[in-house]
C-alpha cells in the first residue's frame, strides 16, 4: 500500500499527478513545510517536516516522501518515476531505452528547470518582480533556462510529448518543474512550442484534479 507524505502545495504535486493519472489507490498524509508555520515544534502544530513523527520516516525533513511496503523514497522525481514504473502502465517507461530517457528527464527537470523556476515564482509571489532586484533575479533565472528551454523547443517541434510519442511520466516530471517558471509570461512567446506542450499536459483531467486539491489547501 502506498503512502504519500506531503501537502499538495509542495513538490508532492509530481507524484500526486502521476497517482491521479494512473488511478492508483494511496493514503495521503498532508505533511506541511515547517517554514510555513510560526511554531512548528509546538505541541499543537500540524504534522510538519520537523515533527519527530515525520522525521522518524525521513530524517531529511522534506516532502514528498513515499512509503510502499518496505520501500521508503525521498526526492519527488525518483518517487514519480518509481510509481510510473510500478503502477503506471504506459505512463511508465517501456524498456531499457525509455527507462534511461525517463531518468534523463527527471534529472533535466530537477537540475536545469526546477530551481530557476523557483526563483521566478517566489519573485512574483513576493510582489517584487517589478523592482530592480526582482527584475535582475528573474533575468538571471531566465538566462539559466535558455539552454534547457531551447532544447525542449527543438524537440517539441518534432513530437507532441517528451518520450515515446505519448504522454508519460517524463511529461509530468518536466511539466511540473516548468510550472514554476510559467508565471513569467515573456517565456511563453519566446518558447511557443514548449508552452503549447505545457498547456497540452495541463489540459489533462488528472492535472486539473490534482490542482483542484492543491488550490483547496490554504496558501
Ligand atoms: N529535491 C527535493 C526537494 C524537496 C523540498 O525541498 N521540499 C520542500 C517542499 S517543496 C520542503 O519539504 N521543505 C521543507 C522545509 O524546508 O521545512 C524533491 O524534489 O523532493
- For residue 31, the ligand 1 atom closest to its alpha carbon is 12
Tell which one of 4, 5, 9, 11 to mutate to probe ligand 1, the residue whose CB is within 8 A of the most ligand atoms: 11
pLDDT the model gives residue 73? 98
Does residue 140 contact residue 119 with C-beta atoms inside 8 Å? yes
Does residue 163 contact residue 105 with C-beta atoms inside 8 Å? yes
Query: Where are the domains positioned within the chain?
Result: 2-90, 93-207
Q: What tens digit of pLDDT does each residue of 98-138 get?
A: 999 999 999 999 999 999 999 999 999 999 999 999 999 99
pLDDT the model gives residue 87? 98
DSSP codes, 142-210: HHHHHHHHHHHHHHTTT-SSSBTTB--HHHHHHHHHHTTGGG-THHHHHSHHHHHHHHHHHTSHHHHHH
pLDDT the model gives residue 166? 98
2-90 is a CATH 3.50.30.10 domain: no
pLDDT the model gives residue 41? 96
Mean pLDDT of the residues in the chain: 98
198 in contact with ligand 1, CB cutoff 6 A = no
The residue among 45, 60, 84 whose CA lies nearest residue 5 is: 60
Q: What tens digit of pLDDT does each residue of 158-180 get?
A: 999 999 999 999 999 999 999 99
Q: So what CATH class is 93-207?
A: mainly alpha
Distance of CA 207 to the CA centre of its chain: 11
33 in contact with ligand 1, CB cutoff 6 A = yes
- With cut-offs at 50, 70 and 90, classify the pLDDT of residue 45: very high
pLDDT the model gives residue 23? 97
- For residue 10, the ligand 1 atom closest to its alpha carbon is 10
Amino acid at each position: 500500500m502506498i503512502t504519500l507524505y506531503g501537502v499538495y502545495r509542495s513538490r508532492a504535486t509530481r507524484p500526486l499527478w502521476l497517482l491521479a493519472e494512473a488511478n492508483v489507490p494511496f493514503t495521503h498524509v498532508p505533511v506541511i513545510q515547517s517554514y510555513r508555520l510560526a511554531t512548528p515544534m509546538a505541541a499543537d502544530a500540524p504534522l510538519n517536516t520537523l515533527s519527530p513523527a515525520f522525521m522518524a520516516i525521513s530524517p531529511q525533513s522534506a516532502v514528498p516522501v513515499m512509503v510502499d511496503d518496505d520501500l521508503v523514497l525521498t526526492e519527488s522525481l525518483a518517487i514519480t518515476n518509481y510509481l510510473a514504473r510500478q503502477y503506471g502502465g504506459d505512463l511508465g517507461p517501456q524498456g531499457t531505452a525509455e527507462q534511461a530517457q525517463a531518468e534523463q528527464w527527471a534529472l533535466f527537470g530537477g537540475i536545469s528547470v526546477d530551481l530557476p523556476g523557483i526563483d521566478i515564482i517566489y519573485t512574483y509571489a513576493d510582489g517584487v518582480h517589478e523592482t530592480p532586484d526582482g527584475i535582475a533575479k528573474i533575468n538571471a533565472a531566465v538566462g539559466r533556462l535558455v539552454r534547457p528551454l531551447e532544447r525542449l523547443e527543438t524537440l517539441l517541434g518534432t513530437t507532441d510529448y517528451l518520450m515515446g510519442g505519448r504522454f508519460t511520466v517524463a511529461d509530468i516530471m518536466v511539466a511540473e518543474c516548468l510550472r514554476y517558471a510559467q508565471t513569467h509570461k515573456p517565456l511563453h512567446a519566446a518558447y511557443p512550442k514548449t508552452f503549447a506542450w505545457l498547456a497540452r499536459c495541463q489540459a489533462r483531467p488528472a492535472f486539473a484534479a490534482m490542482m483542484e486539491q492543491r488550490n483547496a489547501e490554504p496558501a
